[in-house]
Every structure is written in structure tokens, then in C-alpha cells.
């Protein structure tokens, strides 16, 4: 009888812990989905400019001077200056199941993906990455990437024009 009571208590405790942990995962998943939707909505609601691009400690912001970036709802990314137009793709994804070395908090679970189909010699090739979202507001996106090779950090800040 005592053994049956202990088994029943263990069963109830196990199920309680199981359902509690599942509901937290669901809450985190919903929270990340809502954050992704907000970032996508903000990105597509206007034109953006690069206000800071630091490539492994080197300020390369001027490489994008005069360019206006537009993130379209269909995933198309366009960078336009008076003399040139560069097109690419963009997306925002949940990276919470990744084993990235640089994922250490919830904000690191969201990637802002940029891809321009350009030669490696183009300045725009430096923007091709799955950037970790550091912060995102209606007027500012702060993104970082930590290199898997040498551990250097790239930082990209876009602000609404």
C-alpha cells in the first residue's frame, strides 16, 4: 500500500513537472514568434539607412553612405543610391534551436538574415549573414555577428530614414 502511494505521488509530480516545462516552452515560442512578427512589421514600414557598420573592429559605415534600404514584405531587399541599385533577400527567423556559439539570451534566438547576390569583392557581400538581433524598435535595428573562425564581432545598425 505504501509503495502504491509513493508511485502515485511520483506519477503526479512527474506529470506536473512535464506540463509546467511544456507550457514554458510554448510561452517562449509564442514570445519569439511575436517578436519576429514585430521586427518584420517594423522593417517593412519604411526606408532604412546604415548608421553603423563595424566589420571586425573596422568602421566601414561609409561604404553604405547614400544608400537607402527597403525591406519588402515578399522578402526582397533593395539598397538604392542615386547611381546604383542592389537587390537581395531578407528574413527574420527563430534561431532558438541552433547550436550557435553566440546564442546566449532570448534576443540571440532571433536572426535577421540578409543576402545580396553580389561578388565577394562587393561591400554588400559583407552584409550577407544571419545577424543576431540585439535590439529592434520601430526606428532602429541593432544586429551583431560573432565570427565562428576568429571570434571577432561585426555590428550593423540600421535606422529609419
**Is the confidence at residue 104, as pLDDT, over 80?**
no
On whether the CB atoms of residues 114 and 88 are closer than 8 A, the answer is yes
Q: CA 56 to CA 78: how far, in whole Å?
A: 25
pLDDT in tens, 64-90: 999 999 999 999 999 999 999 999 999
pLDDT in tens, 31-43: 999 999 999 999 9
Residue given cell 562587393 in the structure block: 122
Q: CA 141 to CA 156: how far, in whole Å?
A: 8
Residue given cell 519588402 in the structure block: 72
pLDDT attached to residue 108: 57
User: pTM for this structure?
Assistant: 0.77
User: In the beta sheet, which residues pair with residue 98?
Assistant: none
Residue given cell 543610391 in the structure block: 81
Residue 154 burial by Cβ neighbours in a 10 Å radius (0-12, 13-18, 19+)? buried
- Hey, what's the torsion of the CAs at 120, 78, 148, 30, to 10 degrees? -160
Amino acid at each position: 500500500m505504501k509503495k502504491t502511494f509513493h508511485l502515485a505521488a511520483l506519477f503526479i509530480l512527474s506529470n506536473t513537472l512535464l506540463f509546467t516545462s511544456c507550457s514554458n516552452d510554448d510561452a517562449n515560442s509564442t514570445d519569439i514568434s511575436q517578436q519576429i512578427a514585430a521586427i518584420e512589421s517594423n522593417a517593412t514600414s519604411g526606408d532604412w539607412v546604415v548608421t553603423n557598420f563595424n566589420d571586425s573592429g573596422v568602421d566601414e559605415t561609409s561604404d553604405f553612405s547614400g544608400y537607402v534600404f527597403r525591406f519588402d514584405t515578399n522578402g526582397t531587399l533593395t539598397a538604392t543610391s542615386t547611381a546604383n541599385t542592389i537587390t537581395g533577400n531578407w528574413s527574420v527567423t527563430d534561431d532558438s534551436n541552433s547550436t550557435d556559439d553566440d546564442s546566449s539570451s532570448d534576443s540571440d534566438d532571433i536572426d535577421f538574415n540578409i543576402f545580396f547576390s553580389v561578388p565577394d569583392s562587393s561591400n554588400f557581400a559583407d552584409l550577407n549573414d544571419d545577424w543576431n538581433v540585439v535590439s529592434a524598435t520601430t526606428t532602429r535595428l541593432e544586429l551583431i555577428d560573432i565570427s565562428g573562425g576568429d571570434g571577432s564581432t561585426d555590428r550593423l545598425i540600421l535606422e529609419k530614414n
